[in-house]
Amino acid sequence: MSHAHDRCALILIDCQQGFKDWDYWGANRNNPALEHNLLQLLNHWRANQLPIVHVVHHSRDVNSLLRRDKSSGEIWPELTPIAGEELIVKRENSSFIGTELEVYLRRNHINQLAIAGLTTNHCVSTTVRMAGNMGFDVRLVGEACATFDRVGPDGSTYAAQLIHDIALSDLHGEFCQVVNIGELLTNVANQCR
Amino acid sequence: MSHAHDRCALILIDCQQGFKDWDYWGANRNNPALEHNLLQLLNHWRANQLPIVHVVHHSRDVNSLLRRDKSSGEIWPELTPIAGEELIVKRENSSFIGTELEVYLRRNHINQLAIAGLTTNHCVSTTVRMAGNMGFDVRLVGEACATFDRVGPDGSTYAAQLIHDIALSDLHGEFCQVVNIGELLTNVANQCR
């Protein structure tokens, strides 16, 4: 039997058009399966009538692509929220700072989260860190996250795949469990029986 | 002329005896200059009578080395807090979750932070991310941070130095500025004139 407090919420972070402009973010993105995997998660959550939260970034920086007043701030068409799904607008990296996300989850007695989106090392990592530290039970869907190449303070360029892999390694077992999509979908479907 | 709100606080994170047991944390630690650099920061802040915050981790896990009831939970002798310095006890990775750190900083009109300690990718990174997202002006002293080798969810082992470098790259320009000790000490001394 399923209880309200057993439900696992899917949290999709920053799946916005601006992230299609790879050159703006670092030229190379990892994980070509990102779009497919995100859609698979969303479809599964919808089919099982489980809670879904879309987080979008509305930057304070007028030059950012992730703004409310630009088409590049829109969510990818295939992931557009539908009635009954929660939309959280954030202005910082963390989905919990300056937003109603924590209140939404606590009021709905949701303690399990499945988190995916962009970018693995920035907004996803920061959200997972806070969620874990606040006591949520977090599954991080590494296969449905991605990031971009980045230049460090010493001028070295780090490859997107390496940044992504080390971000997952930093988080796994400390703030969350990194899970495979296959296992996750099976476990979540079992919650609904 | 110096104003109260110009002061930069030094925040030293988790410089506790338990982190001397390298085998427990991953066998290899990077940055052999860590101890020297932390002491240099602390001495400089004391000499300039600037605010100093010592953050210690008291784990809820009975097997952890970082506990109040174990000698391994104590701060390194050379960094022991003295009268007038703030001691913040945290139970999670973030120095801001479940602690009075934010209230201490806001009440003392401190908006500039210089952060150092252990580990670069866990408690330091999580604290820097939240501080930056909450509007603090953060300088991260990479030369006075360190971490350990770590095994990722895929079973790969990542070297401490690489994890450290990518953690700094993730944070620099997004949540903070990574600064060299030389520049930082000069800038901070200038604040006091």
ipTM for the assembly:
0.94
- Please give, rounded to a whole number of angstroms, the shortest distance from the CA of A2 to a CA of chain B: 29
Flag whether pLDDT at A121 surpasses 60: yes
- Which tokens hold the place of A87? 């939309």
Of the candidate CATH numbers 3.40.50.850, 3.40.640.10, 3.90.1170.40, 3.90.380.10, the domain formed by B4-191 belongs to: 3.40.50.850
Mean of the pLDDT values across residues A178-189? 91
Residue A1's pLDDT band (cuts 50, 70, 90): very low
State residue B2's pLDDT score: 47
- Which tokens hold the place of B88? 């913040």
Q: Which residues contact B58 (CB under 8 A, 6 or more apart)?
A: B66, B67, B68, B73, B89, B90, B91
Mean of the pLDDT values across residues A148-165? 97
3-state secondary structure of B144: strand
Q: Give A50-59 pLDDT, tens digit per residue.
A: 999 999 999 9
- Which tokens hold the place of B115? 């952060």
Domains of chain B, by residue range, sit at 4-191
Q: Which residue numbers in chain B have pLDDT < 70? A: 1-5, 192-193
Q: Give A44-101 pLDDT, tens digit per residue.
A: 999 999 999 999 999 999 999 999 999 999 999 999 999 999 999 999 999 999 999 9
Measure the CA–CA gap between A133 and A131, rounded to whole angstroms. 6
Tell if the CB–CB gap between A174 and B97 is shorter than 8 Å. Answer: no
State how far the alpha carbon of A2 is from the alpha carbons of A62, A74, A190, B69, B189, in Å: 46, 35, 9, 40, 61
A173: left (phi over 0), alpha (psi -120 to 50) or beta: left
- The interface residues of chain B toward chain A in range 39-58, judged by CB-CB distance below 8 A, are none
Residue A27's pLDDT band (cuts 50, 70, 90): confident
State residue A188's pLDDT score: 83
- Amino acid letter at A136? F
Distance of CA A182 to the CA centre of its chain: 17
Q: Are A150 and A163 in contact (CB under 8 A)?
A: yes
State residue A4's pLDDT score: 52
Architecture of domain A8-191: 3-Layer(aba) Sandwich (3.40)
Does A136 contact chain B (CB < 8 Å)? Answer: no
Instruction: Report the residue of chain B nearest A159, measured CA to CA.
Output: B166
